Amino acid sequence: MTQILEVETSTGRSAFVLTLVEQTTLRRHRRVALDAQGQPCRIAWQTWDGVSLLPGALADGYEDPDGATVPRGEVVATDAQGRLLRQMPATAGRVQRLEGPVPVDDVLAHAVTKVYAVTPHHLDPALRHSLAQGDIYRVAFRPRPSTSDPPAFLLANAHGIFLLQAALCCLDWLTREQMVPMESIADEEDDAPVWGDWLTDYAEMGTEVEV
Protein backbone atom coordinates (compact mmCIF):
# COMPACT_ATOMS: atom_id res chain seq x y z
CA MET A 1 0.00 0.00 0.00
CA THR A 2 1.40 3.39 -1.04
CA GLN A 3 1.31 6.55 1.04
CA ILE A 4 1.88 10.20 0.12
CA LEU A 5 4.11 12.42 2.25
CA GLU A 6 4.54 16.13 1.60
CA VAL A 7 7.28 17.98 3.46
CA GLU A 8 8.77 21.43 3.52
CA THR A 9 12.05 23.02 4.56
CA SER A 10 13.31 26.59 4.49
CA THR A 11 14.37 26.05 0.86
CA GLY A 12 11.15 24.59 -0.55
CA ARG A 13 8.65 21.74 -0.62
CA SER A 14 8.99 18.10 -1.62
CA ALA A 15 6.48 15.31 -2.21
CA PHE A 16 7.15 11.59 -1.88
CA VAL A 17 5.36 8.36 -2.71
CA LEU A 18 5.99 5.83 0.06
CA THR A 19 5.90 2.08 -0.50
CA LEU A 20 6.05 -0.20 2.52
CA VAL A 21 9.03 -2.54 2.40
CA GLU A 22 7.65 -5.93 3.41
CA GLN A 23 9.70 -8.05 5.78
CA THR A 24 9.67 -10.86 3.24
CA THR A 25 11.77 -8.68 0.95
CA LEU A 26 14.28 -8.05 3.75
CA ARG A 27 14.63 -11.71 4.77
CA ARG A 28 15.34 -14.64 2.49
CA HIS A 29 13.96 -17.18 4.93
CA ARG A 30 10.49 -17.36 6.42
CA ARG A 31 10.33 -17.74 10.19
CA VAL A 32 8.20 -20.64 11.45
CA ALA A 33 6.99 -20.96 15.06
CA LEU A 34 7.80 -24.36 16.56
CA ASP A 35 6.48 -26.16 19.63
CA ALA A 36 8.55 -27.92 22.31
CA GLN A 37 8.86 -30.98 20.05
CA GLY A 38 10.12 -28.93 17.12
CA GLN A 39 6.88 -29.25 15.15
CA PRO A 40 5.39 -26.21 13.29
CA CYS A 41 2.63 -24.45 15.26
CA ARG A 42 -0.82 -23.83 13.79
CA ILE A 43 -3.12 -20.84 14.27
CA ALA A 44 -6.07 -21.63 16.57
CA TRP A 45 -9.71 -20.52 16.75
CA GLN A 46 -11.32 -19.83 20.12
CA THR A 47 -14.77 -21.28 20.81
CA TRP A 48 -17.71 -19.04 21.72
CA ASP A 49 -17.34 -19.79 25.44
CA GLY A 50 -13.68 -18.77 25.41
CA VAL A 51 -12.57 -22.08 26.90
CA SER A 52 -11.24 -24.12 23.99
CA LEU A 53 -9.03 -23.30 21.04
CA LEU A 54 -9.66 -24.98 17.70
CA PRO A 55 -7.14 -25.19 14.83
CA GLY A 56 -7.46 -22.21 12.51
CA ALA A 57 -7.13 -18.84 14.29
CA LEU A 58 -6.88 -16.91 17.54
CA ALA A 59 -9.47 -14.64 19.18
CA ASP A 60 -8.86 -11.61 21.36
CA GLY A 61 -10.92 -8.93 23.03
CA TYR A 62 -11.14 -6.18 25.64
CA GLU A 63 -12.42 -6.49 29.19
CA ASP A 64 -13.26 -3.97 31.91
CA PRO A 65 -11.99 -4.34 35.51
CA ASP A 66 -15.00 -6.55 36.30
CA GLY A 67 -14.17 -8.98 33.49
CA ALA A 68 -17.07 -7.93 31.22
CA THR A 69 -16.34 -7.77 27.49
CA VAL A 70 -16.08 -4.26 26.03
CA PRO A 71 -16.95 -3.75 22.34
CA ARG A 72 -13.95 -2.57 20.33
CA GLY A 73 -15.83 0.56 19.26
CA GLU A 74 -16.17 1.68 22.88
CA VAL A 75 -12.46 1.35 23.67
CA VAL A 76 -10.71 4.73 24.08
CA ALA A 77 -7.08 5.64 24.71
CA THR A 78 -6.16 7.34 27.99
CA ASP A 79 -2.97 8.41 29.73
CA ALA A 80 -1.68 7.09 33.06
CA GLN A 81 -4.06 9.45 34.90
CA GLY A 82 -7.12 8.22 32.97
CA ARG A 83 -7.48 11.35 30.84
CA LEU A 84 -8.61 10.93 27.23
CA LEU A 85 -5.85 11.31 24.67
CA ARG A 86 -6.38 13.64 21.74
CA GLN A 87 -6.53 11.88 18.38
CA MET A 88 -4.25 13.47 15.81
CA PRO A 89 -5.17 13.41 12.11
CA ALA A 90 -3.31 11.42 9.47
CA THR A 91 -0.47 13.28 7.78
CA ALA A 92 -1.71 12.47 4.25
CA GLY A 93 -2.67 15.67 2.46
CA ARG A 94 -1.02 17.80 5.16
CA VAL A 95 2.42 19.33 4.58
CA GLN A 96 4.83 18.34 7.35
CA ARG A 97 7.84 20.34 8.47
CA LEU A 98 11.17 18.52 8.31
CA GLU A 99 13.36 18.80 11.41
CA GLY A 100 17.08 18.60 10.97
CA PRO A 101 19.53 17.54 10.01
CA VAL A 102 19.43 15.51 13.24
CA PRO A 103 22.35 13.54 14.72
CA VAL A 104 22.50 9.82 14.06
CA ASP A 105 22.15 9.25 17.83
CA ASP A 106 18.52 10.35 17.51
CA VAL A 107 17.90 7.43 15.17
CA LEU A 108 19.84 4.98 17.33
CA ALA A 109 17.69 5.93 20.33
CA HIS A 110 14.68 4.45 18.52
CA ALA A 111 13.62 1.01 17.36
CA VAL A 112 12.55 0.85 13.70
CA THR A 113 9.00 -0.52 13.29
CA LYS A 114 8.44 -0.01 9.54
CA VAL A 115 10.53 0.86 6.51
CA TYR A 116 9.18 2.72 3.47
CA ALA A 117 10.92 3.05 0.11
CA VAL A 118 10.65 6.66 -1.02
CA THR A 119 9.99 7.65 -4.63
CA PRO A 120 10.28 11.42 -5.06
CA HIS A 121 7.40 13.00 -6.94
CA HIS A 122 9.09 16.34 -6.49
CA LEU A 123 12.35 16.77 -4.56
CA ASP A 124 13.75 20.13 -3.55
CA PRO A 125 17.32 20.36 -4.95
CA ALA A 126 18.74 21.53 -1.62
CA LEU A 127 17.12 18.60 0.20
CA ARG A 128 18.38 16.19 -2.48
CA HIS A 129 21.93 17.43 -1.96
CA SER A 130 21.61 17.25 1.83
CA LEU A 131 20.34 13.64 1.77
CA ALA A 132 23.12 12.68 -0.65
CA GLN A 133 25.63 14.03 1.88
CA GLY A 134 24.27 11.65 4.52
CA ASP A 135 22.05 14.07 6.45
CA ILE A 136 19.08 12.64 8.36
CA TYR A 137 15.76 14.41 8.92
CA ARG A 138 12.97 13.81 11.39
CA VAL A 139 9.34 14.23 10.34
CA ALA A 140 5.87 13.44 11.65
CA PHE A 141 4.24 10.56 9.79
CA ARG A 142 0.87 9.06 10.68
CA PRO A 143 -0.67 6.77 8.03
CA ARG A 144 -4.01 7.00 9.87
CA PRO A 145 -5.50 9.05 12.73
CA SER A 146 -3.77 8.12 15.97
CA THR A 147 -3.35 9.17 19.59
CA SER A 148 0.38 8.49 19.39
CA ASP A 149 2.90 10.45 17.37
CA PRO A 150 5.94 8.23 16.77
CA PRO A 151 8.73 9.87 14.77
CA ALA A 152 9.93 8.96 11.32
CA PHE A 153 13.38 9.54 9.89
CA LEU A 154 14.15 10.43 6.27
CA LEU A 155 17.54 9.34 4.99
CA ALA A 156 19.30 8.06 1.88
CA ASN A 157 21.98 5.57 0.95
CA ALA A 158 23.39 4.03 -2.21
CA HIS A 159 20.13 2.11 -2.77
CA GLY A 160 17.75 5.07 -2.60
CA ILE A 161 15.77 7.20 -0.15
CA PHE A 162 13.97 5.62 2.79
CA LEU A 163 11.61 6.62 5.56
CA LEU A 164 12.05 4.78 8.85
CA GLN A 165 9.04 4.78 11.15
CA ALA A 166 10.26 4.30 14.70
CA ALA A 167 9.36 4.08 18.37
CA LEU A 168 11.45 5.30 21.27
CA CYS A 169 13.62 2.51 22.64
CA CYS A 170 13.32 2.38 26.42
CA LEU A 171 16.18 -0.09 26.96
CA ASP A 172 19.53 1.12 28.20
CA TRP A 173 22.46 0.13 25.99
CA LEU A 174 25.12 -1.86 27.84
CA THR A 175 28.70 -2.54 26.78
CA ARG A 176 31.40 -4.82 28.15
CA GLU A 177 33.41 -1.77 29.21
CA GLN A 178 30.54 -0.14 31.12
CA MET A 179 31.34 0.43 34.78
CA VAL A 180 28.96 -0.95 37.42
CA PRO A 181 27.90 1.70 39.99
CA MET A 182 29.67 1.11 43.32
CA GLU A 183 26.37 1.24 45.23
CA SER A 184 25.11 -1.71 43.17
CA ILE A 185 28.20 -3.72 44.09
CA ALA A 186 27.72 -2.83 47.75
CA ASP A 187 24.08 -3.93 47.67
CA GLU A 188 25.02 -7.28 46.11
CA GLU A 189 27.75 -7.82 48.69
CA ASP A 190 25.32 -7.11 51.51
CA ASP A 191 22.84 -9.65 50.14
CA ALA A 192 25.42 -12.30 49.31
CA PRO A 193 25.70 -15.27 51.72
CA VAL A 194 28.77 -15.24 53.95
CA TRP A 195 30.78 -18.51 53.95
CA GLY A 196 31.54 -18.35 57.66
CA ASP A 197 27.88 -17.76 58.60
CA TRP A 198 26.86 -20.67 56.38
CA LEU A 199 29.21 -23.03 58.21
CA THR A 200 27.98 -21.78 61.59
CA ASP A 201 24.33 -22.32 60.65
CA TYR A 202 25.02 -25.91 59.58
CA ALA A 203 27.07 -26.59 62.69
CA GLU A 204 24.19 -25.45 64.89
CA MET A 205 21.92 -27.87 63.02
CA GLY A 206 24.29 -30.72 63.81
CA THR A 207 25.22 -31.21 60.18
CA GLU A 208 28.76 -32.28 59.41
CA VAL A 209 30.39 -30.11 56.78
CA GLU A 210 33.61 -31.16 55.07
CA VAL A 211 35.88 -28.21 54.38
Residue bearing the bigger pLDDT, 7 or 173 = 7
List residues bridging with 6 in a β-sheet: 15
Confidence of residue 209 (pLDDT cuts 50, 70, 90): very low
Type and span of the H or E element at 130: helix 125-132
Looking at residue 93, its pLDDT comes to: 83
* CA dist., res. 71 & res. 63, Å (int): 9
Tell me whether strands 96-97 and 2-9 are parallel, antiparallel or unpaired.
parallel
CATH of 1-28+78-180, picked from 2.60.40, 3.30.56, 2.40.290, 1.10.3470, is: 2.40.290
Looking at residue 163, its pLDDT comes to: 94
- 147 has pLDDT over 80: yes
pTM: 0.61
For residue range 76-98, list pLDDT tens digits in order: 888 888 888 888 888 888 999 99
Looking at residue 135, its pLDDT comes to: 96
Residue type, 204: E
Type and span of the H or E element at 26: helix 23-26
Residue type, 157: N
For residue range 93-137, list pLDDT tens digits in order: 899 999 989 999 999 989 898 999 999 999 999 999 999 999 999
| Rama region for 2: left / alpha / beta (φ>0; ψ in -120 to 50; rest) | beta
Domain boundaries in the chain?
Answer: 1-28+78-180
Looking at residue 149, its pLDDT comes to: 82
Task: Render the burial of 36-59: b for 16+ CB within 10 Å, e for the rest.
Answer: eeeeeeeeeebeeeeeeeeeeeee
Residue bearing the bigger pLDDT, 209 or 140 = 140
For residue range 2-54, list pLDDT tens digits in order: 788 999 999 999 999 999 987 665 555 667 888 888 888 876 666 656 556 55
